Structure 1
Amino acid sequence: MMTAASSSGTAPFGLSVLDNALTGIGTSASEAYREVIALAQLADRRGFQRYWMSEHHAMPGASTSSPQMMLARLTGETQRIRLGAGGIMLPNHSPLLIAEQFGMLSALAPGRIDLGVGRAPGTDQATAAALRRRHDHDDRFPEQIGELVGFLEDDFPEGHPYRAVHAVPGPWQAEQNRVPHTEGLPELWTLGSSTYSAHLAARLGRPYAFALQFGRADVTSALRIYRDAFRPSPALAKPRVMVSVSVAAHDDPEEARRQTSSTAMAMLRMFQRKPYALLSPEEVAAYPATLDERRVLDMYMANTLHGTGSEVGVALERLHEQTSADEIMLVTGGHSREIQTSSVELVADHFGLPVGA
């Protein structure tokens, strides 16, 4: 496990990045994708452990409808960093299709691919229906993960209806072609922000990533459940925890606060069933928020660790003290892509990560 050197010594947690290809008002998807590549390369140079992207649909402020497609590009744009989805909303997809896609990614970047899976739709109900998502799929989520593992490992038991169905590329193809399966399997993570996901990750014996960026979730209870109920599996001998949290770091703390306000407004718009759009800080400041709207905005502002690099770094250290997470993932946000670059750079500086080439 990579550790990060902090101003007070060595912090026993890894550092990673989650990028949703945010597209603020005035930014095109093409521009955002170019910035995604640049940020992934920066995180790679600075020694971050992972670079993940998550699945969203029908959101003008997030251009990651298919993170696996962007990850395919990033396999050729990075050298060392692990690349992954955080996550794939599994009920939107066929487990076989996801196993095939991440088998391809593993062949492109052996030993560097992660697959985080969640059960939320990543969109509104109408769009979920357009994705052909059935309402009963949430109840089948554990079964879907079981199918996904079966396809990834080519290990369905005798009598299973998919025993003769094989994901390619994967172990079965290597066996048929009489070559070693050198690509390895993607590292499978269970994602969530509730006690449901904690119980499931523990039962499956998989690493657990808790999304603290979604409001005031009870991370303490969820992690206690996961660690107490954890069952060792062939994939993982002991509990392994990652916590993701929204950050905005800038040399000017007021600019960090302004950029955070754009993300908070986007979340408020989602609550109001409006499109998730990243308004400029100026538009947010001019918005005549009601008292109730101000409460929501203030909650999300407080939920984002924003300020100077040192201030954000100290807040991350406190989060680690609270959670004992093995790894903390920075969810970069804001109207400007520049704030995401400064967040990664300044946090890396605070923890003494290598400057890179």
Structure 2
Amino acid sequence: MRLSVLDLVPVRADQTTANALAATVRLAQTADRLGYTRYWVAEHHNMPAVAATSPPVVLAYLAGQTAQIRLGSGGVMLPNHAPLAVAEQFALLEAAAPGRIDLGLGRAPGSDPVTSVALRGAAGRDDSDIQNFPRYLDEVAAMMSTDGVRVELPRQLMRPEYILKATPAAASEPRLWLLGSSLYSAHLAAAKGLPYVFAHHFADQGTEEALAVYREEFQPSDLAAEPITFMTVNASVAPTREEAEALLLPQLVMMATLRTGKPLRALDLVEDARALQFTAQENAIIADGRARAVVGAPAEAADQVREVAEHFGVDEVMINPVGSAFRGTDAATAPARDTTLELLAKELF
């Protein structure tokens, strides 16, 4: 089984952004050393617990500090950016780390509505651009190719065509993936013949149906001759199940806070999360998140990964190591996250 890693660059209550990035470098190096297939970083904005605001910046930082693991975005939220800008960023990453770059694209904003407007600018794109997402997807792929994309100009100009290229002399291209958590993305990935990733780590339902739709409707393309997919899952693995569940709790609390509309904060330390009182709604969200996560001692956690892969018919699982930390942990480290990768690798590789 192939295992990969998703990283939101979480920020604990005891960390600065610099601390969180230092911990992410250590985690990426751990994944690289252990033989994980790929390491993806997400795009979120204006969230106290998430430092992954710019995937290409983080990936450039990691490329020089890892050796062989594939690096990618999980993902770049395309409505937030001009297709040419995304194509240029990832063409440069591919030139710097050839054969190691994945470009995962999604259509969610990755932020709240106010932040989304600020991100795109007063004269920027609006919700109508969501409808243009399939075209933007094609443009990114074409501009990263060696041929570029042809832009039609007004007839009165001397040049009726103009070629846009993300980089002047591409020798290879990033691998393009479509991310999703709904049937829309499944239909689109199938129609365009793209590899597809389902965000099971936060989607409450629909994983099985979306993967089935994708496989049934898949149309072969130059990018994929047959359906290619994997899924993401939250994970907290420790020497004992009790410790794994304790380290997982702050992540579950964060999701309950998000989904009940309460003000967001940095990721709690274990002791602080344990001291909280929850409403019935919050308890239900926490219980649901725990049920969908990989959590436990090494052997039982590995069995859960195998069960997820078998149930959903995927041959690769992307682990989102979400363990927080106990008070007194070195702020520049995330030992629970490193341990999750190490213990799973011992059981599954």
TM-score, with normalisation over the residues of structure 1?
0.89
- Deviation of 1:325 after TM superposition, in Å, equals 0.7
Q: How far apart, in 2, do the equivalents of 1:45 and 1:334 lie?
A: 20
Q: Does 1:44 align with 2:32?
A: yes
- Deviation of 1:335 after TM superposition, in Å, equals 2.0
Cα contact 1:151–1:167 (8 A) shared by 2: yes
- Deviation of 1:166 after TM superposition, in Å, equals 2.3
Q: How many residues align?
A: 330
Task: Pick closer, same or farther for the CA change 1:155–1:167 going to 2, 3 Å.
Answer: closer
> Which of 273, 281, 286 is equivalent to 2:275?
286
Query: Residues 49-96 of structure 1: CA distance to partner in whole angstroms, max 9, x if unpaired?
Result: 001000010111110101111110111111111000010000000110
Q: Does 1:108 align with 2:106?
A: no
Cα contact 1:195–1:225 (8 A) shared by 2: yes
Superposed, which structure 2 residues align to 1:261-276 within 5 Å? Answer: 261-273=249-261, 274-275=263-264
Aligned equivalent of 1:142: 134
Aligned equivalent of 1:70: 58
Query: Residues 104-142 of structure 1: CA distance to partner in whole angstroms, max 9, x if unpaired?
Result: 100110010000000111111111111125122222211
Aligned equivalent of 1:321: 310
Q: How far apart, in 1, do the equivalents of 2:306 and 2:217 lie?
A: 26
Q: How far apart, in 1, do the equivalents of 2:186 and 2:255 lie?
A: 24
Aligned equivalent of 2:328: none
SS of structure 1 residue aligned to 2:306: helix
Q: How far apart, in 2, do the equivalents of 1:207 and 1:115 lie?
A: 11
> Which of 158, 165, 168 is equivalent to 1:167?
165
> Which of 51, 74, 79 is equivalent to 1:91?
79
Equivalent position amino acid for 2:137 in 1: I
Q: Percent identity?
A: 37
Cα contact 1:248–1:343 (8 A) shared by 2: yes
Q: Mean alpha-carbon deviation: is it higher for 39-48 or for 269-278?
A: 269-278
Q: How far apart, in 2, do the equivalents of 1:236 and 1:294 lie?
A: 42
SS of structure 2 residue aligned to 1:185: coil
- Deviation of 1:168 after TM superposition, in Å, equals 3.8
- Deviation of 1:289 after TM superposition, in Å, equals 1.0
- Deviation of 1:160 after TM superposition, in Å, equals 7.3
Equivalent position amino acid for 2:313 in 1: S
TM-score, with normalisation over the residues of structure 2?
0.91
Q: How far apart, in 2, do the equivalents of 1:156 and 1:323 lie?
A: 37
Q: Mean alpha-carbon deviation: is it higher for 59-68 or for 294-303?
A: 294-303
Q: How far apart, in 2, do the equivalents of 1:209 and 1:96 lie?
A: 23
Equivalent position amino acid for 1:348 in 2: A
Unaligned stretches of 5+ in structure 1?
Answer: 1-12, 175-180, 353-357
SS of structure 1 residue aligned to 2:72: strand
Q: How far apart, in 1, do the equivalents of 2:337 and 2:110 lie?
A: 22
SS of structure 2 residue aligned to 1:200: helix
Aligned equivalent of 2:284: 295
Cα contact 1:262–1:335 (8 A) shared by 2: yes
Q: How far apart, in 1, do the equivalents of 2:173 and 2:83 lie?
A: 15
Q: How far apart, in 1, do the equivalents of 2:239 and 2:289 lie?
A: 21
SS of structure 2 residue aligned to 1:164: strand
- Deviation of 1:324 after TM superposition, in Å, equals 1.4
> Which of 156, 160, 164 is equivalent to 2:149?
156
SS of structure 2 residue aligned to 1:131: helix
SS of structure 2 residue aligned to 1:85: strand
Q: Does 1:345 align with 2:342?
A: yes
Q: How far apart, in 1, do the equivalents of 2:235 and 2:311 lie?
A: 17
Q: How far apart, in 2, do the equivalents of 1:92 and 1:248 lie?
A: 31
Q: How far apart, in 2, do the equivalents of 1:53 and 1:111 lie?
A: 17
Task: Pick closer, same or farther for the CA change 1:87–1:167 going to 2, 3 Å.
Answer: same
Q: How far apart, in 2, do the equivalents of 1:102 and 1:276 lie?
A: 31
Q: How far apart, in 1, do the equivalents of 2:165 and 2:324 lie?
A: 40
Cα contact 1:215–1:299 (8 A) shared by 2: no
Q: Does 1:214 align with 2:202?
A: yes
Cα contact 2:193–2:227 (8 A) shared by 1: yes
Equivalent position amino acid for 1:312 in 2: A
SS of structure 2 residue aligned to 1:311: helix
Equivalent position amino acid for 1:141 in 2: F
Cα contact 2:231–2:316 (8 A) shared by 1: yes
Q: How far apart, in 2, do the equivalents of 1:243 and 1:290 lie?
A: 30
Task: Pick closer, same or farther for the CA change 1:236–1:285 going to 2, 3 Å.
Answer: same
Cα contact 2:151–2:163 (8 A) shared by 1: no
- Deviation of 1:163 after TM superposition, in Å, equals 5.4
CA RMSD across the alignment: 1.6
Superposed, which structure 2 residues align to 1:51-62 within 5 Å? Answer: 51-62=39-50
Equivalent position amino acid for 1:321 in 2: E
> Which of 194, 214, 218 is equivalent to 1:230?
218
- Deviation of 1:167 after TM superposition, in Å, equals 3.1
Q: How far apart, in 2, do the equivalents of 1:79 and 1:163 lie?
A: 41
Cα contact 1:215–1:300 (8 A) shared by 2: no
Aligned equivalent of 1:177: none
Aligned equivalent of 1:9: none
Q: How far apart, in 1, do the equivalents of 2:343 and 2:250 lie?
A: 20
SS of structure 2 residue aligned to 1:51: strand
